[in-house]
């Protein structure tokens, strides 16, 4: 078990992806009018990429267009003070090819909020890191 | 009940602070070497300010020094697809006055990880916003 300077277990890339796949919700971190912004989203992993579904005119859709974003998921137990977190950083892109939209539409990724969410954002992690806190 | 364009309930500033106060963990969003970064932290609210305790030489301590940061907390139920999120944006500052350090040291804010965490970061929210997703 490899520990970082804070005493947290450093997770491997494979563990990070497995934990990400287990999370129903993640948080996309981006810049909105030069300010740091963060938004919880449900998501799906496809071939190691993070797929998010949003409304076409949303702030997120605009901000994540060809931007470098971070994506974070975690799960902590406040009673036992244990848990994990995984952060991925990479370029986000808006999906515009009809074939890719059709493929992504078939994913088990349904919006939690009502309304049209036929805009897909895909982020290919260039860096992925994770930490686990155990007893 | 006021809804945003995505159909989510817009929370008042008071509700946002109450929900923040109920959360054991939040996520601080900052910039690390020009890249978006996010780190889960436990925290405390004091007079409406967000107080974080970290190690003196940590990446977070360096990055949050007089920077504009975002802070997010949320709680979602994946089964019922309900929950809330609150995001605050403001300047973070490192606490250096011994009197203020003494006051913050008395808060019920104990680190989840071993090691010395006698460095305090305080963020005064300049913007706070929240959303609730209910059935």
What are the sequence ranges of the domains in chain B? 9-131
Distance in angstroms (rounded) separating the CA atoms of residues A48 and A13: 10
Distance CA A133, CA A83 (A): 5
Cα torsion A18, B130, B87, A59: sign: positive
Q: What average pLDDT does the segment A79-88 reach? A: 96
d(CA A61, CA B110): 38
Q: Is the ipTM of this complex over 0.90?
A: yes
CATH code given to domain B9-131:
2.30.110.10
3 state SS for B74-122: EEEECCCCEEEEEEEEEEEEECCCHHHHHHHHCCCCCCCCCCCCCEEEE
Of the listed ranges A83-87, A115-119, B21-25, B40-44, the least confidently predicted one is A115-119
Separation of alpha carbons B57 and A104, rounded Å? 43
Hey, are the CB atoms on A29 and B38 less than 8 Å from each other?
A: yes
State pLDDT tens for residues A95-108: 999 999 999 999 99
Q: What's the confidence (pLDDT) of residue B100?
A: 96
pLDDT digits (tens, 9 = 90+) for A6-44: 889 999 999 999 999 999 999 999 988 888 999 999 999
Chain B positions with Cβ closer than 8 Å to A: 5-8, 24-25, 27, 29-31, 35-40, 55, 58, 68-70, 72, 74, 76, 78, 81, 83, 85, 87, 89, 112-115, 133
Say which CATH topology domain A9-129 has: Pnp Oxidase; Chain A (2.30.110)
Backbone angles phi, psi at A14, to 5 degrees: -65, -45
CA A13 to the chain's CA centroid: 15
Cβ–Cβ gap A89/B35 under 8 Å: yes
The answer to whether B3 and B114 have CB atoms below 8 angstroms apart is: no
For residue A58, list chain B residues with Cβ-Cβ distance below 8 A.
Answer: 5-6
């Amino acid at each position: 078990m490899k520990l970082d300077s804070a005493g947290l277990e450093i997770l491997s890339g494979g563990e990070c992806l497995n934990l990400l796949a287990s999370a129903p919700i993640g948080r996309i971190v981006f810049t909105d009018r030069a300010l740091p912004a963060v938004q919880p989203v449900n998501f799906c992993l496809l071939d190691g990429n993070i797929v998010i579904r949003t409304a076409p005119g949303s702030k997120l859709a605009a901000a994540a267009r060809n931007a470098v974003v971070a994506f974070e998921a975690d799960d902590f137990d406040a009673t036992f003070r244990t848990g994990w977190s995984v952060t991925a950083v990479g370029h986000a892109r808006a999906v515009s090819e009809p074939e890719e939209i059709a493929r992504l539409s078939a994913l088990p990724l349904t919006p939690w909020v009502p309304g049209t969410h036929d805009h897909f954002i895909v982020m290919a992690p260039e860096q992925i890191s994770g930490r686990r806190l155990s007893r």
